[in-house]
Amino acid sequence: MTIRIHFVGVKGTGMSALAQISAEMENAQITGSDVAERFFTDAVLEKAGIHVLPFEASNVEDADLVVVSAAYGKDHPEISRAMELGIPVLSYPQYLGRLMAKRRGVCVTGTHGKTTTTAMVSLILMEAGYDPSIVVGSDVPVLGGNAYAGKGEFFVAESCEYRRHFLNYQPEFLVILNMDLDHPDYFKDLDDVISAFQELAAKVPAQGTVVVWGDDANWTQVKPAAPVTTYGLENHNVYQAQNISFDAGDSKFEVLHQGNSLGFFRLGVTGSHNVLNALAALALTRSMGVSAEVIRASLAKFSGTKRRFEKLGEYNGALIMDDYAHHPTEISATLAGARQAFPSRRIVAVFQPHTFTRTEKLLDEFAKCFNHADEVVVADIFASARENGGSSVNAATLAEKIRANGVDARFLADFQAIKGYLAQRLEKDHLVLTLGAGDIYKVGLDLVG
């Protein structure tokens, strides 16, 4: 029997992914609603034949199920109307958990690197003929989008720790990339973060597999019933990367498995963090039965995802790139990757802090994470709808603290001011890297025209 599912906030990356695969996985007729502003997901939804309606309470009246984005609460007219009519309402993570329960769950989680690693795992399993269902947090060109409803037995999902959302999932295979305090509006401290990952790991059955970054001492606090496989750059790991080299866009590295070489692997993306992401994907998929040869060929095809060290174009000979990095650890890793790939270019980081809560809690860490940049331009803070104001921190203070740590930095709140500043100074040996989870990428897009 066909059911009707309505998605409130369907243009969100995750929501659009679920909407695409639900027609097949749930035998459903799909409708969705959202704001008029265009996002990259508009094209994705149009390709899938999903028409986006403006928000209106009547949109839900014929629905059998309503799935809602985390951006909207019970006071939203569609959600309140659904509740009034007694129509079941599920949040994004609740509904993703429902879909995953139809397959063997493969969760990729961690504070950083989830999207890229999920995309790598998905590509490897596709190339291996496993035909998995996929939900990933960005557009992945080599996969043809951000979602896929496969016929195979596995369901691969990017799994976020925020508000312990990932506890709605039941993974048989789990990757934990890293554990940092990234959501101080919810988690009390790092111990609270680690406890959430432990709760997820405890859900993996004894016959499953947990893959962890073995170079992070915190992983030892995660004690699942399932066997643990470690990966990293140090020689105590089950899987180790060594002999790493980079050029302008590629990475090459040798993989050792318990000390024995599996040969060299190549990626179409650069940076040590991406080598680690690839190593995690390799460790996971080998535990699922994929050969090293298939993994090698798959990773060689991987060219990155949208908003992850993405080349936007050029301006006056300067290379303009964009990255979603919004946590100090991510920013440091992304800039280090940029320096490894483009050692002779002058790197100008254009950073838009994301949320007052995160900026205030991690201010000192933010001040110290730009050391691989030659210059930093700080835009105004991109506030979250979850925040109620009252913060004493501001972007100008962050720029001052970055300068105090020895990196040239300035605060320019307005995007037009930033574009004008860059346009007057950029030369062919420059690399501009916009950084942040908000809309700072628009500066780069405006520059390249």
What pLDDT is attached to residue 181? 87
Q: Are 243 and 223 in contact (CB under 8 A)?
A: no
145: left (phi over 0), alpha (psi -120 to 50) or beta: left
Rounded to whole angstroms, the Cα distance separating 234 from 270 reads 20
CATH number of the 103-301 domain: 3.40.1190.10
Greatest CA separation for the chain: 64
Q: Are 299 and 276 in contact (CB under 8 A)?
A: no
Which of 221-224's residues contact partners 24+ apart within 8 Å by CB, and which partners?
Answer: 221/194, 222/176, 222/194, 222/197, 222/198, 223/198, 224/174
What pLDDT is attached to residue 386? 59
What pLDDT is attached to residue 349? 97
pLDDT tens-digit readout, 254-268: 999 999 999 999 998
Q: Which sign does the torsion angle of CA 355, 361, 364, 369 carry?
A: negative
Alpha helices in 159-291 (DSSP H): 190-201, 272-287
What pLDDT is attached to residue 292? 98
State the CATH architecture for 3-91.
3-Layer(aba) Sandwich (3.40)
- Coil/strand/helix, residue 154: strand
Tokens linked to 58? 């009547």
Tokens linked to 330? 């991510």
What pLDDT is attached to residue 71? 85
Which of the following CATH numbers is that of domain 310-448: 3.40.50.1220, 3.90.1150.10, 3.60.15.10, 3.90.190.20? Answer: 3.90.190.20
Q: 3 forms bridges with which residues in the sheet? A: 28
Tally of residues, the chain: 449
Tell me which residues of the chain have a pLDDT lower than 70.
248, 385-390
How do the domains of the chain map onto residue ranges?
Answer: 3-91, 103-301, 310-448
- Coil/strand/helix, residue 408: strand
What pLDDT is attached to residue 322? 94
Measuring CA to CA, how many Å separate 69 from each of 22, 65, 73, 96, 316? 15, 14, 9, 12, 40
Rounded to whole angstroms, the Cα distance separating 269 from 252 reads 10
pLDDT tens-digit readout, 77-117: 999 999 999 999 999 999 999 999 999 999 999 999 999 99
Kindly give the pairing relationship between strand 145-148 and strand 133-140. Answer: antiparallel
250, with CB counted inside 10 A (0-12, 13-18, 19+), is middle
238: left (phi over 0), alpha (psi -120 to 50) or beta: alpha
Q: What is the DSSP letter of 376?
A: E
Q: Are 275 and 267 in contact (CB under 8 A)?
A: yes
Measuring CA to CA, how many Å separate 84 from each of 70, 81, 87, 91, 128? 19, 5, 8, 17, 47
Q: Are 96 and 133 in contact (CB under 8 A)?
A: no
Residue 198 neighbours by CB distance under 10 Å = 15
- The number of angstroms, rounded, from the C-alpha of 417 to the middle of its chain's C-alpha atoms is 29
Rounded to whole angstroms, the Cα distance separating 327 from 334 reads 11
